[in-house]
Chain A
Amino acid sequence: MKNKKITATSFSKSHQLYVSKLKKDKFIVIFFRIFILVAFIGLWELLTYLKVLDPFFFSSPSRIVATLGDLISAGTLFHHAWVTLYETLIGFAIATVLGYLIAVALWWNEKVRKIFEPYIIVLNSLPKIALGPVIILWVGAGTSAIVLMCVLICIVITTMSMLSAFIACDEGKILLLKSMHANKFQILWKCVLPNSMPDFISVLKINVGMAWVGSIMGEYLTSKAGLGYLIVYGGQIFKIDLVMTATFVLCILAFLMYFLVSLLERRYKK
């Protein structure tokens, strides 16, 4: 079988129409994406400028920019952003690695899996924030408590998703490996793990979001610095500008991290 490559010169009229329609559709999507953002910021600025919305409660884009400038010139922005980013990355890494390894262990031994099943279900449905006071008592207030909170939030979902991905591995493929004299480790390494790569990438995507939830929640509980700290502090002294600015920076960081994971996904899919 040969795949005929169509050269650019052989495009028919209808194909040209089809391509131009595709281009037009793409343009509309991008246009409205930008339009919504601009309209949202513009409307926000306008309404607060006209005092329809009280900037004291709602802040405004120009105030956010000003606060951002103040924080940068005071040199504190990067410090706070770095603290939160650091906690998030550490929590994300620990939860992903540990959760993955636990899933492998549970896949390996069916009995152990059955024994732990109800515990995992309970842990999954438990709101981890409820453990906040206990965490502080155990590991002390500070970075380790925040990282632990972050880990707790991400780890259960990592284990559960990966385990079900491992179990879903095609029995036929495993039978094939067995017929080729493969041992259990080879079955894991050659088939079960690579087969679950797409699921692993979606776990990473979920964890990117969850890790930020964990670190910000941790900072609400106990912190001396970080974006979560700025948000709580700003709320307490009624400086909504600070709250909004911290949230804005948070949005950008979370987006960047998600973007990195999707780069990874694109590379894998090639």
Chain B
Amino acid sequence: MENLLEFKNVNYFYQTKNDEIFALDNINFDVKEEEFVSLVGPSGCGKTTILSLAAGLLKPSSGEVILDGEKKIDTKKIGYMFQRDMLFDWRTVWKNVTLGLELQKPKDLDRKLAFAEELLKKYNLDGFKNRKPRSLSGGMRQRVALIRTLVLEPKLLLLDEPFSALDYQTRLTLCDDVAEILKNEKKTALLVTHDISEAISLSDKIIVLSSRPAKVKDEIHLNLNGETPLKKREDSSFGSYFDLIWRELTNEEQKNNSD
């Protein structure tokens, strides 16, 4: 499989009035097509910065971010999903789902509208098409947010802790839903999370980051048996992966505290 996203020797500094914050230190990794990659690391280490760079919302201070073979990132190839669903309360579910189409006015609008319709139907939301988001549950709202992203047919999905605002049970169910949707639609995804088990159950590859300035500490390729993330949690090697990542992260925490 081809590399869809590549980070090559990426450094990033945040500028503030009194300071220059060194956020990313020589980051190298790649995401292959149809691969699910997770970034884990101590909080505040710069995971979201990496996503913003991949989305083209920020430019690297040095180094290269290459998306689909191009150095200039085409935002239209990216779908961004946030921790909060960011649904617009004043729009119906349908109007929320088609928001991106309204903004981008693509040439094949009719086909994409039909696709949106199909996605809503497929993931049991078409009954709520004309409802306002406030009448939906948290899990449903995140599914609407995911469909809003998928409608634009992005090549790469950036997921910034999309499950962390939900209660535990909804979270596990939605995790399965999202994994299924991404598999069906053959999507590539880069997930940021602080939940180790979530990362293990969803990913093909996990990138462990150090505390700030973030360096790539380890790259773990996973091979778990199980159809869904929930099933993967039952795999015998799940625990050992968990221990491995847990140890790497706690080492970071200790190093942090002794600084």
| A binding-site residues for B, Cβ under 8 Å | 1, 170, 172-173, 175-182, 186, 190-191, 194-195, 197
Contact = CB atoms under 8 A, between A and B. Distances in A.
A219 to B, nearest CB: 40
A181 B76 contact: yes
Contacts of A180: 75, 80, 99-100, 103-104, 152
A172 B86 contact: yes
B84 A172 contact: yes
Given A176-B82, A190-B99, 16 more contacts: A1-B137, A1-B140, A173-B86, A173-B88, A175-B57, A175-B80, A178-B75, A180-B80, A180-B99, A181-B75, A181-B76, A182-B103, A186-B103, A190-B103, A195-B90, A197-B90
A179 to B, nearest CB: 4
A190 B90 contact: no
Interface residues of B, number: 20
Interface in B90-143: 90, 99-100, 102-104, 137, 140
Contacts of B82: 172, 175-176
A69 B76 CA distance: 71
B78 interface: yes
A179 B88 contact: no
Shortest beta-carbon contacts, A-B, top 5? A179-B80, A180-B100, A181-B75, A176-B86, A182-B103
Contacts of B104: 180-181
Contacts of B140: 1
B102 A179 contact: no
B55 interface: yes
Nearest to B78: A179
Contacts of A176: 80, 82, 86
B170 to A, nearest CB: 11
28 contacts: A1-B140, A172-B82, A172-B84, A173-B86, A173-B88, A175-B57, A175-B80, A176-B80, A176-B82, A179-B55, A179-B57, A179-B79, A179-B80, A180-B80, A180-B99, A180-B103, A180-B104, A180-B152, A181-B75, A181-B104, A182-B103, A190-B99, A190-B103, A191-B88, A194-B88, A194-B90, A195-B90, A197-B90
A188 to B, nearest CB: 12
B185 to A, nearest CB: 18
B90 A178 contact: no
A174 B140 CA distance: 22
Contacts of B55: 179
A176 B78 CA distance: 11
Nearest to B91: A194
A86 to B, nearest CB: 34
Query: A172, A179, A181, A197 — which one has the most chain B CB atoms within 10 A of its CB?
Result: A179
A181 B103 contact: yes
Contact of B86 (A1, A170, A181): A170
A179 B84 CA distance: 15
Contacts of A195: 88, 90
A178 B73 CA distance: 13
Contacts of B76: 181
Contacts of A179: 55, 57, 75, 78-80
B157 to A, nearest CB: 11
A176 B87 CA distance: 10
A134 to B, nearest CB: 42
B246 to A, nearest CB: 30
